[in-house]
Amino acid sequence: MLWVALKEPGADLIGGAVVFDAMFARDPATKALFGRVNVADLQSSEFKSHVVRVMTGLDVCINALEDPPLLQQLTAHLSDQHVVREGIKAEHLRMMGSLLLGAMPQLVADFNPDAWAACLVPVLGAISAGLP
């Protein structure tokens, strides 16, 4: 996963786990947002599956950047999924983006923060549309 730079098996789970661990360390209250995916056990198959879904969703969106109609459909779908989840705010997605960008130098060779930010910021902004 992690957009061509990390296409080895399990990379999405490893990268995602780093981001979620950092998010829970920065703001422990965010853990409560993931009760339906067994966040109490970060090694559970439910939580690991959620991490993979999040990272795969970002992967699909990043790969659709050159197809604006497709990207709009994808981000609208992901936005709709988040709007109905109680307690999720746009600031949480901004934090996730910041943490992901912070983790990337350890996960991706030749990491370019400007290029990655140019990809992630609009995707996460579109997904967070409609969130408080």
Annotation: binding site: 82
CB atoms within 10 A of CB 47: 19
Return the half-sphere exposure (C-beta side, CA atoms, 13 A cut-off) of residue 53. Answer: 9
Annotated binding site for heme b: 82
User: 13 with 56: CB under 8 angstroms?
Assistant: no
On the 0-12 / 13-18 / 19+ scale of CB atoms within 10 A, 108 is middle
Q: Would residue 126 be called left, alpha or beta, if left means φ above 0 and alpha means ψ between -120 and 50 degrees?
A: alpha
Helix (H) / strand (E) containing 19 = helix 11-26
